[in-house]
A = this chain, B = another copy of it.
Amino acid sequence: MTRPEISANRLMARIKRLGEVGALSGGGVCRLALTDEDKQGRDLLVSWMQELGLKVSIDVIGNIWGTREAEQGGPPIMMGSHIDTVATGGLYDGAAGVLVGLEVIDALNAAGIKTVRPVAVAAFTNEEGARFAPDMMGSGVHQGALDLDMMLATVATDGDAVFGEELNRIGYAGPVPAASMTPAAYLELHVEQGPVLEQERIQIGAVTGVQGISWTEYVIEGQSNHAGTTPMSMRHDAGAVAAEIAVEARRIAVDFGPPQVSTVGVFEVSPGLVNVVPQFARITVDLRNTDDTLLIKAEQQLMARAKAAADAEGCTLKTRSLARFAPVAFDETLVAKVEAAAAARQLSVRRMPSGAGHDAQMFAPNCPSAMVFVPSEAGLSHNINEHTEEADLVAGANVLLDVILDLAGESK
């Protein structure tokens, strides 16, 4: 038996080839879910799966997976990610995970290795949520976390297109029922989409889980007043309250320490004139933590301070939850295997949470799941200049190969 090895040439050729589908003239790609470009990407993927001898399955929400059969049968060890992108996406977000999966299969084939358990590679529909909300739709339906009919009825954010109709139109409404298969284990390679690995010069991230996300909108109403004639003590300045909440949101994240993060991404005031005290302000706060207890504590502290700030200024405060996902913890044994596989290959590795959502989190409640992160240049993500070095991708592919082979077992 030959020892299987990742081929950088094969891997990069597929990344380059898929990157041509929906390529933007200035660089980057646009393969929004269920568009013609998504269909072309899917067709290419299916043709590659067939070339590699995989059994192709397509389910009712358009998820595609190719299975490398094994004597023993049963649920496969699954690798997966997505090939849809945001409107100005890069070549690696999602595609890297799917194509590294194909390369793992190619390497096993080339080495003539048979596994005890089947190995599969999957591309899940509409992970980005850029054209149809919510995100992680395909993996969510696949693992029973989202309702199929509700998802099929979703209307596009950019017009009147209905998800189910678009899925039919591109020919990817498949026969496999929703929530009908749980893999034996799930592994996903993904670009970090953040700066940590690059800044710390580490090649592999052994992802311990996905941060819980809490999005809250704070709307403050006060009173519009003349900036010159209204003493500070007689003001009801909605903008001042919003600024205080923003500063407090940051203070909480700094006080809690990593992995707590906090972001005020939206900050609007009205009427928005130099010499008028703002009557209205709207901000959003994005809080994330891997520990739900801490995340709840951060939410509660900020809410209390926001109320105090609004009360002190004689303003009203209304808050609205825009999104709330509890943190997801990956399987400790699997995370340790990723770490060990990296170390065995002399690759630098660190444990880290994922700050962004991924398909893997839909599998985590149902089967042992984990992720492998590779560095993102300058942390750029959802950007046409998103980039990951070839050497880093190959390193990640080798780690994935080793863990998959360990989990699937070699037939002697």
Q: Which A residues have a C-beta under 8 Å from some C-beta of B?
A: 192-196, 199, 211, 213, 215, 224-234, 237, 239-240, 242-244, 246-247, 250, 253-254, 258-269, 271-278, 281, 284, 286, 288, 322, 354-357, 379, 381-383
Which residues of chain B have C-beta atoms less than 8 A from A232's C-beta? 250, 253-254, 258, 260-262
- Does A379 contact B196, Cβ atoms closer than 8 Å? no
Q: Closest Cβ of chain B: how far from A357's Cβ, in Å?
A: 8
| Set B194, B230, B274: member contacting A379, Cβ < 8 A | B230
- Does A227 contact B286, Cβ atoms closer than 8 Å? yes
Which residues of chain B have C-beta atoms less than 8 A from A267's C-beta? 239, 242-243, 267-269, 272, 278, 281
Which residues of chain B have C-beta atoms less than 8 A from A229's C-beta? 192-196, 354-356, 379, 381
- Does B226 contact A355, Cβ atoms closer than 8 Å? yes
| Set B213, B226, B231, B266: member contacting A381, Cβ < 8 A | B226
Which residues of chain B have C-beta atoms less than 8 A from A237's C-beta? 250, 263
- Does B261 contact A231, Cβ atoms closer than 8 Å? yes
The residue in chain B whose Cβ has the minimal distance to the Cβ of A323 is B274
Query: Within the assembled complex, what's the spacing in Å between the Cα atoms of A215 and B267?
Result: 21
- Does B254 contact A246, Cβ atoms closer than 8 Å? no
Which residues of chain B have C-beta atoms less than 8 A from A250's C-beta? 232, 237, 240, 243
Q: Which of A247, A253, A266 has the most CB of B within 10 A?
A: A266
- Does A230 contact B195, Cβ atoms closer than 8 Å? yes
- Does A265 contact B226, Cβ atoms closer than 8 Å? no
Query: Within the assembled complex, what's the spacing in Å between the Cα atoms of A272 and B284?
Result: 9
- Does B276 contact A265, Cβ atoms closer than 8 Å? yes
Ordered by A's residue number, 15 sampled pairs between the chains whose C-beta atoms are within 8 Å are A194-B231, A215-B274, A228-B357, A229-B354, A232-B258, A232-B262, A239-B264, A239-B265, A243-B243, A243-B267, A263-B277, A265-B272, A266-B272, A267-B268, A274-B286
